[in-house]
A and B are shown apart, each in its own frame.
Chain A
């Protein structure tokens, strides 16, 4: 290695913790969310162990309730929401648009500090005794009945929310203002359309979460009674406010994954994404329509049945753009030169798992069927297919794809493929039985359960142990490759994006000269030869 890059620029700890380089902030984020992923995963492991038998034998009910709450809170706010945007997004957004950095580099570092502070407060709540409300904090349980550290936990999430808002804001401004000459909107890689749509949700929805959590805290501290029926409050108001954020948040947790998969399918099929504009605008459509479906979490809550009709209808509508994406990805493979590197395996797994998750979402959007399976394991299986089968798979796909750019080293291909395949099988074995449990009527958040459900729980727990090993594998071989992996060329995948037209790892200032964009993204010849965007 001769040229200096962003990693070797300055090795002091101080240079890392006071960095304003988006690439280093991305690495800081990656390290912190990895930690949270394994904390959330540890909670899941204990849950699956406990559920192997119908009786309570490993932990008490109070502990069990704390475990699934911790698992949900950590995975949603401290892994899934920041996962792709704050790590891969942070790293590649400026590189993809030919900029030196994000529009507000200091704000970017602030985001990370807020995230760490929020995570620290939440972890303190966990170790001080935990929270037992479920990640949804439903009132009046959370406001009047829970004897756990609700205020601390909502404070942690509240703080982390601001890191989301700032990251979203940063991306929006960056994509508007810092695109290289010639990089028009329709020349943007689809990952950026996804992140842009995600950022709009982050900026518009997260403040509503902040207000809701503030009201929960005020209700507990000052007894304002806003969710207490005895004082004229309304428990359903909490659900409306919470899901007004949290349903769009589901799209925060999947749109970036869809963006990554658009990149991967194209590069490993050596073909432009089929229907670029449809895929691009479908991300925007999901972000917009996603704001009008929150009531589908409340079909049996006592909300007006007519509101139920509207929300059911809108939920079917929001599924259309997702279907469009799936069809276009498949069509992209048609007549391509398909390679099966590990990132492509993840992308293919994503399409399959996301489609199952999406189709079962239709079951839940369908009013009369939702009445039956809502709050059962069917819902648990459904959202794990989207969040884990979808987003986590896409995150791993993207991580492997950009790994050479981030670290300057190649990952070991065969280990990576083995891990991808193991994750796929472990995942399905864990979560497919949960669909059947839901169809049999097993409610979620149950510590003990009737014995007839046991066989499916045992299968699910067995799958979870495979999944746990599969998720640990990348930690080891990627860790190994950081130091011993083969040196990566600047464009190991022969991709077209600007991020591949600078050395791996990139220098601190990203590009020696600002690139001038002359082509659409994903411009491959009929023989699959890449034509870089700036060539």
Chain B
């Protein structure tokens, strides 16, 4: 499909098509303005050139504010339309479908590390099934990176110290570029990879053929015990700490009176910065695990805690 002079990159999700339509709208309005402007400038430049003494220069426009108000109002209206168009598409991008398949991504200088729920790991590649929505739960262990799939018209920064998410639903099997779009140091331009979209059955086969030492939740469960989390969070523990069964996706009342939805970012923050938000009715006893748990281990523990909520839906 590579042509000698590429002019267009086909969009391969429904969102990409919607973005391409928006692009067409932006382009059409811009071309309209440019053609009008260049026509007028060209016409005035030729007709009213100093050498053309015969041109009619009488009856110059006097009441300029008529014109000013008209073109200001027209510009404003057109801009408002474009704003609303772009904004509603953007807001739709914020909420992943309820049945989206979660995949964990950890960015570091200069690679993308991926882990599937079943424990399958990949580096600089992401295999996903056709026709199902995929929700990436992304974190960085050093600087800011940005996960960019041009064919899907999406990107999102991966910021250290927090969890960011991004979702897409491919509609055509194939291999697509994955780029890091936020400058991250020496090998920024080599922090690239492939998104491999496979038929559902091929994907299952692919998953089955990977070496795994356990699902993410199992690995996370092992770490959970290794770090002694169950000593406080387990059933019948001596210290009273919030129970984690069924936590994911729930609304958690906090000691300051506010309420937070227990999403991936909340669970992660509670492990690394436990004193920042205290669940209502509990003591601030938990030590911080900042620096003690690697980014890859952290996502496994988060996956384990999520698994305690059973068939968890992504939080809305």
A residues whose Cβ falls under 8 Å from a Cβ of B? 61-62, 65, 132, 134, 138, 140-141, 144-146, 229-230, 232, 234-236, 269-271, 274-275, 278, 299-302, 305, 308-309, 312-313, 316-317, 319-320, 323-324, 326-328, 330-331, 333-340, 348, 351-352, 355-356, 359-360, 362-363, 365-372, 374-376, 436, 439-441, 443-450, 452-453, 455-456, 526, 528
Contact = CB atoms under 8 A, between A and B. Distances in A.
B160 A140 contact: yes
B134 to A, nearest CB: 17
Contacts of A356: 34
B161 A234 contact: yes
A439 B7 CA distance: 8
Given A324-B71, A340-B49, A368-B86, A146 B185 contact: yes
A366 B86 contact: yes
Which 3 pairs from chain A and chain B are nearest by CB?
A229-B161, A441-B150, A366-B86
B130 interface: no
Contacts of B218: none
Contacts of B68: 275, 278, 324, 328
Interface stretch (B76-84, B96-104, B231-239, B252-260): B76-84
B37 A132 contact: no
A274 B94 contact: no
A392 to B, nearest CB: 20
B89 to A, nearest CB: 3
B148 interface: yes
A317 B9 contact: no
A230 B56 CA distance: 72
Contacts of B205: none
Given A333-B45, A455-B6, 4 more contacts: A275-B68, A312-B90, A372-B154, A445-B188
18 contacts: A61-B186, A65-B185, A145-B142, A146-B185, A229-B159, A275-B67, A299-B90, A316-B82, A323-B71, A330-B44, A338-B44, A339-B49, A366-B26, A375-B148, A375-B155, A439-B8, A441-B148, A526-B57
A229 B48 contact: no
Interface string B141-182: 011101010110111110111101000000000000101111
Interface stretch (B15-23, B222-230, B279-287): B15-23
A141 B143 contact: yes
Given A312-B86, A330-B44, A368-B89, A376 B181 contact: yes
Interface of B: 2, 4-9, 18-19, 22-23, 26, 30, 33-34, 37-38, 40-41, 44-45, 48-50, 55-58, 60-61, 64-65, 67-68, 71-72, 75-76, 79-80, 82-83, 85-87, 89-91, 93-94, 109, 142-144, 146, 148, 150-151, 153-157, 159-162, 164, 177, 179-190, 192, 273, 290-291
A356 B144 CA distance: 31
Contacts of B61: 274, 331, 334
A526 B56 CA distance: 11
B94 A305 contact: yes
Contact of B44 (A320, A336, A439): A336
Given A316-B83, A367-B89, A368-B93, A448 B189 contact: yes
A363 B190 CA distance: 28
A515 B246 CA distance: 82
Contacts of B34: 355-356, 359
Given A140-B143, A236-B159, A309 B93 contact: no
Given A331-B61, A355-B34, A309 B87 contact: yes
Secondary structure at the B interface, as helix, strand, loop or mixed, is mixed
Contacts of A299: 90
B171 to A, nearest CB: 17
Contact of B91 (A61, A146, A305, A313): A305
Secondary structure at the A interface, as helix, strand, loop or mixed, is helix
A326 B37 contact: yes
A140 B182 CA distance: 12
A232 B273 CA distance: 9
Nearest to A140: B143
A440 B182 CA distance: 17
In this complex, which of B45, B182, B183 has the most chain A Cβ atoms within 10 angstroms of its Cβ? B183
A352 B156 CA distance: 33
Contacts of A374: 155, 181
Given A235-B159, A302-B156, A330-B44, A443 B179 contact: yes
Contacts of A334: 44, 48, 60-61
Contact of A313 (B6, B65, B83, B190): B83
A369 B23 contact: yes
A351 B80 CA distance: 24
A359 B38 CA distance: 14
B311 to A, nearest CB: 27
A209 to B, nearest CB: 19
Contacts of A301: 144, 157, 159
Contacts of B44: 330, 333-334, 336, 338
Given A134-B183, A372-B154, A324 B22 contact: no
Nearest to A279: B68
Contacts of A236: 159
Nearest to B161: A229
Contacts of B146: 300, 375
B143 A320 contact: no
Given A145-B109, A313-B83, A335-B60, A230 B183 contact: no
A64 to B, nearest CB: 8
Contacts of A455: 4-6
Contacts of A234: 161
B118 to A, nearest CB: 28
A368 B76 contact: no
A312 B83 CA distance: 7
Contact of A312 (B26, B64, B87): B87
A375 B71 contact: no
Contacts of B30: 359-360, 362-363
A336 B144 contact: no
A443 B160 contact: no
Given A275-B68, A335-B57, A368-B90, A448 B156 contact: no
B54 to A, nearest CB: 12
Contacts of A333: 41, 44-45, 48
Contacts of A339: 49-50
Contacts of B109: 145
A456 B6 CA distance: 9
Contacts of B153: 371-372
Given A138-B183, A301-B157, A371 B50 contact: no
Contact of B90 (A278, A317, A371, A445): A371
B194 to A, nearest CB: 11
A300 B148 CA distance: 10
Contacts of A362: 26, 30, 79, 82
